[in-house]
Amino acid sequence: MFSKILIANRGEIACRIIRTARRMGVRTVAVYSDADMDALHIALADEAIRIGAAAASESYLSKERIIAAAQRSGAEAIHPGYGFLSENADFAEAVEKAGLTFIGPSPASIRAMGLKDAAKALIEQAGVPVVPGYHGDKQDAGFLGQRAAEIGFPVLIKARAGGGGKGMRRVDRPEDFAAFLDAARREAKSAFGDDAVLIEKYLLQPRHIEIQVFGDSKGNVVHLFERDCSLQRRHQKVIEEAPAPGMTEEMRCAMGEAAVRAARAIDYRGAGTVEFIADVSQGLLPDRFFFMEMNTRLQVEHPVTEAIAGVDLVEWQLRVASGEPLPKTQAELAIDGWAFEARLYAEDPSRGFLPATGTLAHLRFPKSDARIDAGVRQGDGITPYYDPLIAKLIVHAPTREAALGRLTRALRDTQVAGTASNLDFLIRLSEQPDFVAGHPDTGLIDREVEALTSVQAPDDIALALAAIVEVGGLKRSLGDDPWSSLGAWQLWGEASRPVVLHHGGGQTSCRVIANGQDLFSVHFDERTIAVRLIDRSDDAYWVEIDGRQVSASIFRIPHGLTLFLDGQTHHFHWPDPLDGGVEAAAGGDRLIAPMPGLVKIVRVREGDMVAKGQALIVMEAMKMELTLAAMRDGVVESLHVGEGDQTSESAVLLSLRPEDAA
């Protein structure tokens, strides 16, 4: 076994690897960029080495700097984690040439599966079914459009390199193919350095089911059963589960055997995942699944496999890479119970899952019944440089119903303040009837997106608590004079103050009255709510509202506050009267950058006439492309950015004027 390893990654996966290595007595070396100088994985590792600037291309994607760091530290092996260089065959080869061990498959195995077109041809030869489509080398746009028409719409454009939903577009109409092809190619080039694509038939009722495989240097290969990863948005997974609901033993055996054949075909060593798409239009059938791709690395969702199989896959990786045989044979592996994983991201579901930045002013996870794999702590910042994952919540129970109940409870016990997050979306998704019934598919989120992502207006109880906090009524200790908390001195009458609460796209006016001895009344237009403060601990309040006792947590953040009540998160903001961003973002005369990013394409010039909804600017942020459209009809009056410019959040990108304006 190794005595010291270097982890060529950051965030949650680096922390995950460090914890297993520490348990095994293996020392760890972390690497970090300028943006990660105070990151959690640095604090957990035995030592850490700076490898460059914040941009991934100058740090986590620099093969030379990472290998130099490993040699400098005396590490014997490099664990790539996932993402970044984890599936880069040249990196794996360079690691081995430097006299170090790459904790993963051989460079040849990575290359065999690294390009999806070549991988599909190889897999077909191994007797594994593949999705109908075009997987060739000819990349002329006209030719690809013709092949798409022959396959039949809808089709899926997929980058032949990489994964994670990058360089992928669903196309429903022939007239959209060219634009979507261009976008997929740009994103693929940026993410993987390769803009070649393949075209596949898009199945209308698909489920994404993948098989965890593991091989060693002795020629042994096993599978550790399936994961269902059908709940996706933008081709990225949201909630995963193992085993797959409705899976029969016949189909499990067929998929497992196909996955093992695929791994054996490339002499696979280490952890890998063979991903299949299943046509469930007639249910789960053993002859209706197709190979999509093989990920030659550990997967983000590996914890659900660990939970049902009772293994530590990172430990297996370290043992196999050090030359040991697989710890278990196929006959010794069995499924125990059910597991779910939910990915908590800094993103805004109500704005098309736009990635978010900010400081995690408050971060709380459930104290029990859930495994938390996180790479951040309270007080850490979410930057625009890397994936905005906050944490993964993993639960395990004897049955699917019990496990899903634990997942919902764990999500309701989680709190995030200081940045937008997908927490409320995850809670709603965990309770969505089709998902609860065990009928997930890759189109479920898109079909239910409005119900899952709409901003829920706070009820009167949430509004009342926010109003009292705004006037300072809950800052004081129990029993203090409530008049002092409401400000101005008065000779007689009740201490009161008007409050205007801004939330989502609306606002609510009310009046808060201090009645003495921790009693308040909050008057709305048609209702008065009585509130009594019973107890408090830090920022948690136990209050009685109209005869009902509830617990609420309230946190002040810059320009507002976040309130957690009954498993829901409510955000209130205090608008800056000098800030025109609200009007600009809503539509009008200015196009506003929704987040920090790079201006990739400017599609218009000053003086051009544009129509509402027309694509004007393409930005890249957090490894994804964002197309910004015209807010209304008009004429481009001025452009404030050019292609290649880095821009901050809320920056004005261009201005419009009415067509008939002078």
Instruction: List residues bridging with 629 in a β-sheet.
Output: 615
DSSP SS3 for 639: strand
| Residues ≥6 apart with Cβ < 8 Å to 20 | 312, 314, 315, 318
Residue 154: Cβ within 10 Å count? 14
Instruction: List residues bridging with 656 in a β-sheet.
Output: 636
Q: What are phi and psi of 562, to 5 degrees?
A: -120, 130
Q: Rounded to an integer, what distance in angstroms lies between the CA atom of residue 29 and that of residue 453?
A: 40
For the chain, count helices (H), then strands (E): 19, 39
Largest Cα span, the chain: 90
Pairing of strands 221-233, 519-523: unpaired
CB 95 within 8 A of CB 158: no
Q: Rounded to an integer, what distance in angstroms lies between the CA atom of residue 392 and that of residue 11?
A: 12
* Helix 107-114 vs helix 116-125: crossing angle, to nearest 10: 100
Q: Which spans in 193-271 are helix H?
A: 249-265
Q: Return the DSSP state at 314.
A: H
Exposure string (b/e) for 37-68, b if CB count within 10 Å is 16 or more?
eebbbbebbeebbebbebebeebbbbbebbbe
Q: Rounded to an integer, what distance in angstroms lies between the CA atom of residue 211 and that of residue 278?
A: 12
Q: Which amino acid is at 402?
A: A
- The pair of structure tokens assigned to 252 is 């499990």
Distances (CA, A) of 478 to 475, 511, 562, 612, 626: 9, 21, 22, 55, 49
Q: Rounded to an integer, what distance in angstroms lies between the CA atom of residue 376 and that of residue 406?
A: 23
Q: Among this protein's residues, is 297 annotated catalytic?
A: yes
Report the first-to-last Cα separation within the chain, whole angstroms: 76
Instruction: List residues bridging with 283 in a β-sheet.
Output: 281
**Residue found by looking up tokens 């004027």 in the block:** 657
Q: Rounded to an integer, what distance in angstroms lies between the CA atom of residue 29 and that of residue 44?
A: 10
Residue 487: Cβ within 10 Å count? 12
CB 88 within 8 A of CB 60: no
**Residue found by looking up tokens 């309701």 in the block:** 412
Rg of the chain over Cα atoms, rounded to whole angstroms, equals: 27
Q: Return the DSSP state at 130.
A: B
Kindly tell me the burial class for residue 606, based on how many C-beta atoms sit within 10 Å of its own C-beta (0-12, 13-18, 19 or more).
Answer: exposed
- Best CA proximity match to 88, nearest among 68, 125, 50, 62: 62
Q: Of residues 65, 227, 297, 409, which has the active-site annotation?
A: 297
Q: Rounded to an integer, what distance in angstroms lies between the CA atom of residue 162 and that of residue 386?
A: 16
Instruction: List residues bridging with 550 in a β-sheet.
Output: 543
- Best CA proximity match to 187, nearest among 215, 164, 211: 164
List the catalytic residues: 297
